[in-house]
Structure 1
Amino acid sequence: MPNTPSFLARTGPAAVAIASLLVAWQLYSDLSGISQTTLPSPLRVAGQAWLNRRALADNALPTIRATLLGFSCSLAGAFLLSAAMDFFAPVRRALFPVFVVSQTLPLVAIAPLVVLWFGFGLLPKILLVALVTFFPMLVALVQGYESTEKEIALLLGSMGATRWQRFWLARAPSALPFLLAGLRISITYAVVGAIFAEYAGATRGLGIYILKAKNNFRPDLVLAAVAVSAALTLVLFAATGLVQRLAMPWQRLEQRRTR
């Protein structure tokens, strides 16, 4: 069980800040006389989200599926390519600049092309999510491999370990903290990438829901869908934190000792 005082100390300031913003938003909406069709209040957004909860849930499921599949493909691809770069320096020199250039391409221009090439199904969503989440994990893994202590590698080499064994026993574990940091960065982009892909072309999903609500001049439903996407991102971000706690239990023990 988490320590309640420390948990409140970590989450309390953020909760107070968010609550203050919502209260200020509500007061402005009530007292300024602004139209609810221009800036709906938080209570109206929450009420409409509850009334349209079935439609929101039905459209959230395709977004979640595209997010998880795209992120899984991105993680697998980042690991395989980072390993290839670690084993073969020419591969790194050839591919790394290509991946850097890929991050300079505007998603607003790439998304319609991917939809045009691969249709309105699940595949273009997976590809776009993988595109926006791949690079942070690749960089994290490459830097993690380089952080391996030379003494460990030399010791394993003196014991007759093959290069593959040195990779699994020394370089991969050294990259674990870097990978987890890359995961937490990438996961914040994953849901946004999936929604943008749906926005560019899809039949279902939060992106399509937002587009339809915007075209019907329903900012309350747009903000309700945005709130759902934000909640999904927070859940996935928290899940990466849980993965970190499970994969690196010694880190939590070290933190306790330093308190």
Structure 2
Amino acid sequence: MRNVPASSRVTSRLVAPLTILALLAIWQLVCSAGLVPPFMLPSPIRVVQALVGDWPLLIGHAATSLAEAGLGLAAGVALGFIAALAMDRFDLLYRAFYPIVVLTQTIPTVAIAPLLVLWFGYGMLPKVVLIVVATFFPITVGMLEGLRSVDPDEIDLMRAMGATRLQILRHVKLPAAMPQFFSGLKISAAYAIVGAVIAEWLGGFSGLGVYMTRVRKAYSFDKMFAVIFLISGLSLVLMWAVDAVRRIAMPWERRSDSER
């Protein structure tokens, strides 16, 4: 990065924000010109007004969705981490359960959600279970692929030096698996918010999904777009948080970036 001109760095950072601003400007022009009826596509200005007007209500619903997403993501990460370690350690478990893990991703979450509500009621539990199902797969597969990507010669060298299985896991396998783990965690963080909203569509007392259902029935599409923007913003914040944790947990990547 030290050899890249400052103007090029600034331009690369501004490309995404400028693209978003351009799309919003086109959207506003289309709405202002009357090319699309307002009840079908509210303008960005109306969406911002709805977001500001309902901000206190949205914050309350967002707190519920974030609590569900946080609990489900934490449980999904823990279960996925343990499952990946177990399948890496025991080949029989890998052959028995890996196809089942893959099979869980062929079932749409929208199809699972009504069953979870039927089984566990309208509280927080079915939402958390659905988020665990959605986040378990990226963590398990990413972690398992990372653990199995280690060079066998490194493991043989550690064994020749008298290292135990735990030492090999700690000093060789886990560092090698960290990039794939955090890649899966970033995907799971986005899935957590979406999974919470999908579960809330089918029943509940609070949450962004409940809010979306109410404003949709009232045909308040400006508020519908407002909550969509809020959900996207929350997902981005969670993904940025994962990146921050990754930089802390993998300091060698920061050194490599600075050298480049």
Q: Same fold (TM over 0.5)?
A: yes
Aligned pairs for 1:70-81 (under 5 A) are: 70-81=72-83
Cα separation, partners in 2 of 1:250 and 1:169, compared to 1, 3 Å: closer
* Match of residue 243 from structure 2: 241
* Secondary structure, aligned partner of 2:107: coil
Q: Over residues 131-182 of structure 1, what are the superposed CA-to-partner deviations in whole Å (9 max), with x where a residue is unaligned?
A: 1111111111111111212232122212322222222221112111110111
* Match of residue 221 from structure 1: 223
1:32 to 7, 31, 34: 34
Q: Hey, what's the Cα distance between the residues in 1 that align with 2:170 and 2:47?
A: 50
* Match of residue 257 from structure 2: 255
Q: TM-score under structure 2 normalisation?
A: 0.94
* Match of residue 184 from structure 1: 186
Aligned pairs for 1:136-151 (under 5 A) are: 136-151=138-153
Is 1:105 aligned to residue 107 of structure 2?
yes
Structure 1, unaligned stretches of length 5 or more? none
Which residue identity lines up with residue 134 of structure 1 in the other structure?
A: F
Q: Over residues 180-213 of structure 1, what are the superposed CA-to-partner deviations in whole Å (9 max), with x where a residue is unaligned?
A: 1111222222211110011122111000100000
Q: Over residues 9-46 of structure 1, what are the superposed CA-to-partner deviations in whole Å (9 max), with x where a residue is unaligned?
A: 44311101110111111111111264322211100110
1:86 to 85, 88, 100: 88
- Count of residue pairs the alignment pairs up: 256
Deviation at 1:122, TM superposition (A): 1.1
Cα separation, partners in 2 of 1:33 and 1:86, compared to 1, 3 Å: closer
Q: Hey, what's the Cα distance between the residues in 2 that align with 1:130 and 1:6?
A: 42
2:160 to 152, 158, 165: 158
Is 1:134 aligned to residue 151 of structure 2?
no
* Secondary structure, aligned partner of 1:185: helix
Which residue identity lines up with residue 250 of structure 1 in the other structure?
A: W
2:59 to 57, 79, 83: 57
Q: Hey, what's the Cα distance between the residues in 2 that align with 1:7 and 1:15?
A: 14
* Secondary structure, aligned partner of 2:119: helix
Structure 2, unaligned stretches of length 5 or more? none
Deviation at 1:236, TM superposition (A): 0.5
Please tell me the root mean square deviation across aligned C-alpha atoms, in Å. 1.7
Q: Over residues 48-106 of structure 1, what are the superposed CA-to-partner deviations in whole Å (9 max), with x where a residue is unaligned?
A: 11011011101000101111111111110011011110111111111111111111011
Cα separation, partners in 2 of 1:13 and 1:73, compared to 1, 3 Å: same
* Match of residue 199 from structure 2: 197
Q: Hey, what's the Cα distance between the residues in 1 that align with 2:184 and 2:9?
A: 24
Deviation at 1:7, TM superposition (A): 6.3
Which residue identity lines up with residue 147 of structure 1 in the other structure?
A: S
Bigger Cα displacement from structure 2, 70-79 vs 31-40: 31-40
Bigger Cα displacement from structure 2, 119-128 vs 143-152: 143-152
Q: Hey, what's the Cα distance between the residues in 1 that align with 2:55 and 2:7?
A: 34
Q: Hey, what's the Cα distance between the residues in 1 that align with 2:111 and 2:244?
A: 35
Deviation at 1:5, TM superposition (A): 6.0
* Secondary structure, aligned partner of 2:106: coil
Deviation at 1:6, TM superposition (A): 7.0
* Match of residue 124 from structure 1: 126
* Secondary structure, aligned partner of 2:258: helix
Bigger Cα displacement from structure 2, 112-121 vs 158-167: 158-167
Q: Hey, what's the Cα distance between the residues in 2 that align with 1:71 and 1:8?
A: 35
Q: TM-score under structure 1 normalisation?
A: 0.94
Q: Hey, what's the Cα distance between the residues in 1 that align with 2:25 and 2:89?
A: 55
